[in-house]
Every structure is written in C-alpha cells, then in structure tokens.
Structure 1
Amino acid sequence: MGTQRPVIELTDIRKTYGMDGNAVHALRGVSLTVPTGDYVAIMGASGSGKSTLMNIIGCLDVPTTGRYLLDDVEVEHLSDRQLALVRNRKIGFVFQSFNLLPRTTALDNVELPLIYAGVGTAERRKRARAALELVGLSERMNHKPQELSGGQQQRVAVARALVTAPSLILADEPTGNLDSTSSSDVMALFDRLHRAGRTIVLITHEHDIAEHAERAIRLMDGQIVSDERNGERGWISEQHTVRHAR
C-alpha cells in the first residue's frame, strides 16, 4: 500500500477562522497522505477539527496555509469554479442526509453529476444504470426517494458518488441516519468497493463503523494524535478492540 500513488497529500494544513483575539484555530498543522486504494476512517469528538478537515479534503473549503494535492492537483489556490470542477471530477460524496432530489427517480439522481460534467444523454444513462446495478438497486431505478428505505436511499447516494469514476469516495457519517441493519448493508457495500480498489475516506464518530476501515486517524484540538493500521496496538481506542481479524 505504501508504494501506491497518493490520492491525498496534505502538508502542514492550518485553518483559522476569525482574526486576532477572536481567532479559532480549527486545524493546527495537519499532514496526511492517503495512497490509492486506502480505506481510512477519520475520527474525533465535536470541535476536534474533523469537519473542517473533511471540508478541506472535499474541496468545500480551502486551508489558511499549507499545501493540498488531490490526485496530483494542487487545490489550495484554485478559484471557486476550479474547485467545483475538481469536486465533480475527482470526489464522490456520500452524506449522512443522502441529499437526494425528492421528486426525481433514483436513476435521475445518479445521473446528476454527469449532467454537470457535460456527459451526453445516452452515456449518462448507461453509466447511471451500471452504478445502480453495482449497489444492488437495478430493480429500483425508477423509484423516487420516498419510495425507498433509508438504506436504499443511501445506496442511491453511493451510486451517485461512483458514477463519475472519482479518485476518492468521501463519506461523512454515512450511516448516521440509518438503523443497524441498513448500516450493516451500507458498510458491506463500502467494504466491497474497497476490495475492488476504491480509495475511501470515512468521517465518523462511531467505533463500529471505523472498524471497517483499514486505517484510523484520530483528531484532537485540530491535530492528528494517532494514525494506526487495523490490527496495530491501540487500534480505534483502548476500549474498542477489533472484533474480527482481516
């Protein structure tokens, strides 16, 4: 894994909100490399800098200082329009709240990033159908979100994340709105995507979700305090040991 080309390279990333006496230092010199095919969980309590780091990795925000390479593109000085193009082409987002358009079908929802990317109708439809088949929803393509369970809606969101063939899948608390059975189904899908070679970064505060990853990074007060591989001593936390060997 260490010889793989990096998808994410963060070097001394700092993010400060406000000025002078009111300044909040959300990130304090974060350096992180995620190689192609890695499966990473980023953990931390509220206020740890976890959400800020996710926004920077996802090109939803830019660092105050530091260098960020995403799939060999230096992103910290890009314009808003350039950032939007990078997000569309290189990152597949999966959010806690699914973020599906309520009055459109699963197929139309999955096609949306391809419309923004300027892909023609026939190719769009073909790729969206293939993505929905990949997540096991080939028989639900023409259903609208309210006709699907929470777990099915999140699988539509995963298909939408996959449809542009992104360099990175970035999932923010992807099981936060799901019951335990649906959570297991969605995490089994992420595990399968990882085995197929996808690069996945999960943002989570749940230990059982983080245990699916091959690597756990813990943030505290805007800094990385641990970065461990599955199976290493102290994996996830002293109190939460891995329940199954990989």
Structure 2
Amino acid sequence: MSPILSLRGIRKTYSNGSISLEALRGIDLDVEEGDYVAIMGPSGSGKSTLMHILGCLDIATSGHYELAGRDVSTLSEGQLAEVRNRSIGFVFQQFNLLPSMTAQQNVELPLVYAGVGRAERSARAREVLTAVGLADRMAHRPGELSGGQQQRVSIARALVNNPDILLADEPTGNLDSASTEDVLDLLSGLHARGRTIILITHEHDVAVRSVHQYSIRDGLLGPLETGTLG
C-alpha cells in the first residue's frame, strides 16, 4: 500500500537579489496511513519551511510531494486551497481561534468554507468537541477557556473535516506542563484510533511521544538520535 504522504528530493531555496538561501536540501519522507510522526529541530533548522510545504502553504523549489495520491506540485492555487481545507487538519501554537465566537462556532468554520449545511455543521462540530472532552464547553468563547482547552478546540476544528492528516505545529508551545501532557495524551488517543499525525516541535520530550521521530538540521532530515536536544 502506498504511503498517505511521500516526499522525494524536496528542496526549497529563497532568493534575495544575488543572495540565495537553501532552507531544505533534499528531503525524503514517507508517512503511512495511521502513523504518528514527529519532526524535531531548533530555530533555523528548516522545520518551519518543511511544515509550510507539508501543509501546502508553500511549494517546493524542486522535488516531488504526493499527498493522498495527488501530486501536490501540479496543483493550482485553488486546488491547493481545497487540499488545505479538506485533506489537512492544522493545529497551531497560537490556537488561532476567533475570540468573538463560541467553541462550537470556531469548530464549524471549516465546514462553512466547505459549503456544509447548518444542521450538519452543528452535528459534526458537537461530535468532535465531545470527542476531545469539551462537551460541556461548546458555548464558551476562547477567553473563557484555559490554554489547554483552547488547544482542544483547535484540534476539534482540525478534525471536523475528517482530514487525511493532522499537522500540528508546536501545539504545546504556549502551554504549561499540565496542559502539555493533556494535549499529548489527546494526540496519542487520536493516533490509537487511527489518525495520521505529523507533529513539528523543538522539544525532545514532546517528540518522543510519537511513534517515529526525525531530526531536521541545516535543511536535512534524519532519524532523531537518543538524547538529541532542541
């Protein structure tokens, strides 16, 4: 069976006049359906660039990226936007919740963009909020929730379209230790139920909670060695 996500020879070069910076220098990566992968690296390692390419937020300078059987490098901007909305569930460090909306309304937003009707939006949002342990917080706005609860809302929002992969970029970066453990337990539970998860982090203790760990440094990807520090 083919991987759900496959990268071959991915390179990314940024140019400013006569100056060029090669942020990624030939990345190969396969992620199987139902896998839980962590990519760890310090600031400037290329992990943010790689995350943007994985999330179809940017395109590689060269190389091949296939996601759920589609060659991403051949897609138009409109098709890439569709992939971002339907195939990838994003979880960010900053939560990115709209403060004027309730938890349920925030979770429904991707379904609004996908043209899903009101009744189905409500039912699906309530289902995923219950699944992440927030059945009693659906009517609360972000300012009425703890950091850990806000991240659970963002995870529910990422799941509501039933994406092919869940892409989590430093999901514990703004959380205290108790909330970090809570969110990591949730991600492990989602993986146990068959979710495909890619986690980007600079924290070793977070990376080792995954099944497969990689280290990125100087734009090159390799296995995460025991004792590696971010």
Q: TM-score, normalised by structure 1?
A: 0.90
**1:227 lines up with 2:216 in the alignment:** no
In the alignment, the residues of structure 2 paired with residue 21 and residue 215 of structure 1 have an alpha-carbon distance, to the nearest angstrom, of 39
**1:91 corresponds to:** 88
Could you report, residue by residue, the CA deviation over 1:148-173 in whole angstroms, capped at 9, with x for unpaired residues? 00000000000000100000000000
**1:22 corresponds to:** 19
**1:56 lines up with 2:58 in the alignment:** no
Q: 1:121 aligns with which of 118, 130, 138?
A: 118
> 1:238 deviation in Å?
5.3
**1:191 corresponds to:** 188
Could you report, residue by residue, the CA deviation over 1:122-146 in whole angstroms, capped at 9, with x for unpaired residues? 1111000000000000000000000
Q: 2:175 aligns with which of 168, 175, 178?
A: 178
In the alignment, the residues of structure 2 paired with residue 7 and residue 102 of structure 1 have an alpha-carbon distance, to the nearest angstrom, of 34
Are the structure 2 counterparts of residues 185 and 64 from structure 1 closer, same or farther at C-alpha, using a change threshold of 3 Å?
same
**2:99 corresponds to:** 102
In the alignment, the residues of structure 2 paired with residue 79 and residue 24 of structure 1 have an alpha-carbon distance, to the nearest angstrom, of 25
**1:80 lines up with 2:77 in the alignment:** yes
Moved over 3 A (4+): none
Are the structure 2 counterparts of residues 132 and 239 from structure 1 closer, same or farther at C-alpha, using a change threshold of 3 Å?
closer
SS at match of 1:51: helix
**2:204 corresponds to:** 207
Could you report, residue by residue, the CA deviation over 1:31-72 in whole angstroms, capped at 9, with x for unpaired residues? 110000111110111111100000000000000011100111
**1:158 lines up with 2:151 in the alignment:** no
**1:34 corresponds to:** 31
In the alignment, the residues of structure 2 paired with residue 23 and residue 34 of structure 1 have an alpha-carbon distance, to the nearest angstrom, of 30
**2:132 corresponds to:** 135
Q: Which runs of 5+ in 1 are unaligned?
A: 229-233, 241-246
Instruction: Give 2:20's aligned amino acid.
Output: A
Instruction: Give 1:52's aligned amino acid.
Output: T
In the alignment, the residues of structure 2 paired with residue 238 and residue 143 of structure 1 have an alpha-carbon distance, to the nearest angstrom, of 40
Let me know the Cα RMSD of the aligned residues.
1.4
> 1:205 deviation in Å?
0.5
Give the percent of matched residue pairs that are identical in Structure 1 and Structure 2.
58
> 1:19 deviation in Å?
5.5
> 1:104 deviation in Å?
0.3
Q: Which runs of 5+ in 2 are unaligned?
A: none
Instruction: Compare 13-22 and 205-214 and name the one that shifted more.
Output: 13-22
CA contact (8 A) 2:112 2:121 kept: yes
Instruction: Give 1:173's aligned amino acid.
Output: E
SS at match of 1:33: strand
In the alignment, the residues of structure 1 paired with residue 229 and residue 121 of structure 2 have an alpha-carbon distance, to the nearest angstrom, of 47
